[in-house]
Amino acid sequence: MKIVLVALNARFSHSNPALMYLKACAPDDDIKILSLTINDPIDRLMHKLITEDGDAYGFSCYIWNMADVQRLSECLKKAKPSAVLFAGGPEISFDAENQFKSNPYIDYYLVGECELIFPKFIDYLENETDVLPEGVATRNNPVVCYQCVDPLSQIPFPYDEETLAGLSHQMIYYESMRGCPFSCSYCLSSTIHKVRTLPLERVFHELGVLIDAKVRQVKFVDRTFNVDIKRCNRILKFLAEQETQTNFHFEIAGDLIDDEMIAIVSASPKGRFQFEIGIQSTHEPTLDAIDRKTHTETVLSRTKALIATGKAHVHVDLIAGLPYETLEIFEKSFNDIYALNADMFQLGFLKLLKGTKIRREAERFDYVYRSFPQYEIIANRFISSEELITLKRIEVLVDAIVNRGRLTVSREYIIGYFRSPYDFFKALSDFALSVDFYDVSHGENDFYMLFKDFLCGGVKVFPDLPLMMEMICYDYFLETNKRLPSFLEGICSEDPAKFRKVLHDETFILTHFPELSDLPHKKRLKQIRICLFDRLVEKFGFQEGSVCLFFNQRAVWYSALQESSS
């Protein structure tokens, strides 16, 4: 029997370790993993599925691909009526009974962690046994128990040499533990309290395999990686000491960061680690309502200390739509988290996922939410749909400006004219709405134009507008090596000829731009952007007449009498 396991990923750079686990648990069978994306046209997807000519097809189901699985399973069953169709994953494990009602084309659902039941399920399909394994739901028996693998060491390492070769350009997902000890009411992990871990010796060996394969990034899917801080620190220390360019991503709890963890990250190569910290809210009644047992001051101070190491990329999360958080209260959470100055600030919106406590409590808080994936909030008792739409517009700007590293200097300066960062983004969003900015797609230059137009034509009068214009140009050169766009021309002097002699200063070049030291003067001129700012030079405290050189997102000030980098 040929079995085709179908991964409908959100994008090409993603992979599906769940299916790799299944294949590794049944290595003697004819099993093919077919990696597709939800962005492919359905005709192309169907062509690939039918070309495989499988006897059985298994779909891995999540909130981002469930609608596509519904459509594909219908088309596939009609095209190949004799093929067995089965599915599993988070979208199935808490709703198999209703899934059978809504989708008449799937024959079986595998509920929970399926690695150990999958080989038995294959035996059943191949008529090797008459006993359907526990954890497999059918139309006649749609309610089955959620399966957990315990101990976790029973499942094999899902990546072999061939698999890793095929994933050379993709993110590699890795787990060293399953389960979560916390009970956050919006999170699926809260439904599985028992934490199970792999032995550290095995973890070190498997991470070594991934390092030897020179994968680009390893993303740990462990929930609250630092829940056992001693274990966490041993793994971090091991990774910090390796000779590798691989980046490692972890989801951690801010209040569980200890001094040893800070010290390990501080001593690690820059860029080795990436941390995601779900702060979600800084309003204590909200945190209590969602069963999130954290201490806000500790979360903020420990997260700030981690960011201050300057060695790791730190991503912080905020969720809109939680209980007891009105728009006014949400503004404070926004400002508290923005002030951390993290590398990425994700403003997300509550999703009432199947199986979660907050979905069961929807009536308690008057939640209105989408009945289809991704089950996102529309309104609740504390925040209206109009207010959430306003926050969605702000989220677009935060992602495109803050998370893309744009307008860093001018943004922080301009925020000083507003009551708070939230007030600034609200005003910028209102202006963007007034000029129909949200109605079309945008390139990188459009956000600089938006900033310029906002300063020149918004409701607020800025007394030092010329300085702000220079800051926008400065930020532009920090992001790109291109010449200024037409709407910024004339604000500063680009590549003034009399200052090009700086590129002959070998000591200066070797100190600040060593990667260009072997290039001749003319080629350096093509790589470096030289600018003369009349007002910024004084604002930054440099000698009058100094010029700023930009290269590779770095800015260095230079004069005959004084030089400094920023």
Q: Is 0.85 topped by the overall pTM? A: yes
Instruction: List, in sequence order, every beta strand (DSSP E) within 119-199.
Output: 136-137, 172-174, 177-178, 196-197
Q: What residue ranges of the chain have pLDDT lower than 70?
A: 190-193, 560-566
396: helix, strand or coil: helix
Order of strands across the sheet that contains 563-565: 493-494, 529-532, 547-551, 554-558, 563-565
The DSSP secondary structure of 78-118, one letter per residue, reads HH-TTSEEEEESHHHHTTHHHHHHH-TT--EEE-B--TTTH
Other beta carbons within 10 Å of 250 = 22
Find tokens 């803050």 and name the residue.
402
29-77 per-position pLDDT tens digit? 789 999 999 899 999 999 999 999 999 999 999 998 999 999 999 999 9
Helix H or strand E encompassing 412: helix 408-415
DSSP state of 16: -
**Exposure class string for 215-229: b at 16+ Cβ within 10 A, else e:** beebbbbbbbbbbbb
List beta partners, residue 547.
Answer: 558
The gap from C-alpha 168 to its chain's centroid, in whole angstroms, comes to 20
Q: If DSSP states are collapsed to H, E and C, what string results for 246-261?
A: CEEEEEECHHHCCHHH
The DSSP secondary structure of 226-240, one letter per residue, reads GGSHHHHHHHHHHHH
Structure tokens, 231: 């274990």
The pLDDT, as a whole number, for residue 562 is 45
Order of strands across the sheet that contains 172-174: 172-174, 217-220, 247-252, 273-280, 313-320, 344-349
CB 521 within 8 A of CB 566: no
The pLDDT, as a whole number, for residue 191 is 66
Cα separation, 470 vs 479, whole angstroms = 14
459-488 per-position pLDDT tens digit? 778 889 999 999 999 999 999 888 899 999
Cα separation, 122 vs 128, whole angstroms = 8
The pLDDT, as a whole number, for residue 561 is 45
The pLDDT, as a whole number, for residue 71 is 94
